[in-house]
Structure 1
Amino acid sequence: MQEGRRARGTGAGWKRHIIRQLKHRDRTQNARFHDVIHSYNKLLEKSTLLKQLTETIQTEPGSRFHDEAPGPPGVPETDGQQKEMEELDTYNGKLAFEACEMRARIQAQEDVMRIQNTRMADLSHTLESQINQKNQLLDDLAWIVATNADLKEDYDHVHRQKQGLEAEYQSKVVALLAITDDIMKRKAADAENQNELNDRRKEELWRRHCKKALRKCVSSDAGLEHTQTAGGTETSGSAEGEATVKKTRSQSMISLGTSRFMGTIRNVLGFSFRKGKVDLPREEPWHCSPNVCVLCCVPTKALCNKEVHESEVHAVQFSPNSRTVATGGADRVIKIWNVNHGMLQVCRTLEGSGGGITSIEFDPSGLQILASSFDGAAHLWKLDGKAYESLTGHTGKVTAAKFKMSLYRAVTCSLDRTIREWDLQKAACIRRISVSSYCSDVVCSDYYMISGHHDKKIRFWDSRSESCFREVTLEEKITSLFMDQEQGQLLSCSRDDALSLFDLRSSNVRQSGWVQVRM
């Protein structure tokens, strides 16, 4: 309402302003033409008076001349009248000229007045149209205000609904988190129970194997003792034989040495386990067996634990002589460490990479280091000098870089779905292989290259051509590959926590299993 009153007050103000302007213009124009109109009225009066005098003169001189003609004294009066007539004619001409001028001025003023009237009519029409437009705008404003009020009500209603839905969503999220936590706890408990069950099964299986192996060893030792003590005599009865066997078993258990026990454990672990009887030499006693087996176990304590990089460590590699360790991480540097009595001592820092290090490898001589990085390049350092080379050409992250059997050849794989072979003397790419899936790791042998890919396939490539002569498909994406020094076996890792062992000579999978990691 206040806005409407303000709008009406504003409209009345500009109306009054226009009216005041028009009145001021009328007063100005009337004051300007007032003298002209007054002079014109005087001229009209004089013209009327002159006309009356002329008519009077035209009528009077004849009668006067008629009355005064006989006498001579009338001659001078006629001359005076003639002069007076001439003066009147002259004055009449002046008045007529002034009247013409005044008429021209009046005509010009009338034209100006006509123009002013036309403009006033136009302004009045414009004023009327402006008033109509203003009324229309006021109506539109009222409609907009009403519409905004309706929209505000709808918005408030929707906002209240949104707040209610948000509160409901938050409650659902809290309930979902609680359910998820409950499920995770149940899964953790089930996993722990399953792990305990698996451990018990493994312990029971281990106990059975140990009992079986010890039983076989004891039976063999009992036979040897019996032959040595009896010589060629026979036992007197079954009771005495059983007692002798029991005594012999107890003595053999006492005389079971460390070396023989280690050999037994080695047989259980599958190093030389044979089904049936154990083939032992009769003349060799238990306590002096030359076979020694060293048991391996999972380490429980770290010899050295220290922060070696400013950020994550992505790669670590021992040198061929195991006296040096190279580490690389997200801080774009490679650090060389000397291993001394289980401790790491920094020896050198290699710089030059434009991205984080993804893999590291020593050459067989241990004098060169080849590393791949996130900057789409592989980098080569020579430890006996300051030589540095950068192998550029990939358009994506280089996931692995490996030396070939030759010291002057290297192979890299990248996320750009290419495998490249490099001449390290020229730092140039000599072969490029395109694949359908990006490569995660690569290993090299004398005659072929093996690559693991994101499409769950292991591909075998001929070193002399770009052809893939074999593909092996696993259950999940390949993450890493490793080949033994004899180039006879290949170990692969995949995303499903599985390890697969391949026999490269027979071209088949020897063993495949899943790794269970317990935190």
Structure 2
Amino acid sequence: MQRAAERRARGSGGKAAWKLHIIRQLRHRDRAQHGAFQELIQSYNKLLEKSVILKDLTEKIQTEPVMSPRSRPPARVPPDAPLLAGSEAPPTLQEQISAFRDYNGELAVQACELKKGVQERDEELQKQKSSISFLSTLVDDHQRQCECLENEMVRLVCSNDDLKEDYDQLLTRRRLLDRQLHDAAEKQRELLESLTKKKAMEAEQQNNFNERRKEEIWRRVVKKALHKSVSAEADLRHQRCLDLRDSTSLVLSRSHEKEKTCPRKPRSQSMISLGPSKLMGALRSWFDFGKRPDDCSPDDDWCRPSSVCVICCLPRRALYSKEVHDSEIHAVKFSPNSKMVATGGADRVVKIWDVVGGQLQCQQVLHGCNGGITSIEFDSSGAQVLAASFDGSAHLWKLDSKSSDTLTGHMGKVTAARFKMSPYRAVTSSMDRTIKEWDLHKAACIRSIVVPSYCSDVVCSDSYMISGHHDKKIRFWDSRSRVLIREVTLEEKVTSLFMEPEQRQLLSCSRDDVLRLIDLRMGSVLLTFRADGFKCGCDWNKAILSPDATYSMSGSSDGTIFIWNTQTGLLERSLSGEHRAAVNAVAWSVSGEYVVSVDRGRKAVLWCEY
């Protein structure tokens, strides 16, 4: 019947495929369960046969007459009937009946147990049928999901092919744009090199012209000054008169400006007794054409120091030595009039000191920093103080109004903060690898340059900025275009930079215990300063030039201060005995009279010549 049903299902085609599938499952279940119930069926058949035999015997016993045991014929015992224990004679019929009844009871018990087992198997079979039905439904669901996933895979493959085509087109376009960008960068670099060379040539020509003009004016003044001996004040007045007759109106205006802002102390000795070098220094201080640009307007509020350094004196003796902070001191700076000194360090405050009678008297304490002070700078008028801090910002204080502003925007420690030529512009450098230019009126960043390495120090003019880095390089940046103009590579990472007021030379200090004097016009190293015992004590060790750029100075890790001659490159003097810890920074007054040094031991020392 099953085969006939299969044939009918096959004849009906695909519409009756499910019937064929059910028939196959039934046949498979019949084969799987036939063996499990085979033993039960055989036992049940044996039980039926024995029941029939027992029934026949019972009927015969009821029909036969009762006979005595002696006349009773021997009963037929089934071959598998149990024998009575301890009896050698064949059992009687009654005993056989009892034995068969007992055996029948046992068979009934076995039949009940087998029936119970059959019921359990039926229940298990029913559960298996339910499980098979559930699994069949689950298989159908999975098949449908597989079909959906296959369709989705086909769609994704097509989409990926389209995206790959778009990516290939974009990659080709990117390569083309990269080539164009590289060509443009090469052209820009060539233009910058040509422009730099042209500016260098023009600057060299202008410098030569200015030098010839200065020499001519000096020659006239010296020629007239050698015929008479007058006081320094009278000679300077006479020199201004000569300047009115011989120089242009621009030189005249500058001379009057210096006369108002730079009063000189009269000396009893004559100008001739100063000697040729001091006389030339005095003349240079009055006839310096590079101090202020010709195109500067009064609205720019440019201020020059009120004290002019005719000649710097080498410090010899310590006038004042005292612990002035609660922790190590990182920075020190003189004001433009040489009457005030600012110090700052790890105790998060900036202290303003008056230089009175060879001593430092605390005038003011500036608060507001949340981190240690790394550098301090006065503006050209001395009315504002700018400090860089480890709290990721720079702080600006106005000494006259006692107000303050905070320049925030850096993500790392601010290592240096400098005023530009205008007192309303400032530049900061940070360990977050950025250099930022600030508008101090708005306390806002107006320009930012991303640099390749940690920036340890920065100096600037109106047209360019110079930064020192931990990757052993000094980089020159154009202030407006933010383009890298030049690089100078040193032996170790740079700790500080110092640019002379003339903006012709740059002094760098690095961790290889060497100071280098760099020509800013040519970008080459002019001199290197070394000394036995000199060792750069930290990553922010400051080195400076004297106001007349005649000497360079830096502190060492053993507390000694070293001074070199910038003309010969030789060590002029070393100052020791006052500091017991590493000297972090030094400052030279604009008048050339005083030097202040600070160290890690919280001490500040005031030095002078006499």
Question: What TM-score, normalized to structure 2?
Answer: 0.37
Q: For the pair shown, which has the larger CA radius of gyration, 1 or 2?
A: 1
By relative contact order (CA 8 Å, sep 6+), the higher-ranking structure is 2
Q: Which structure shows the higher helix fraction?
A: 1
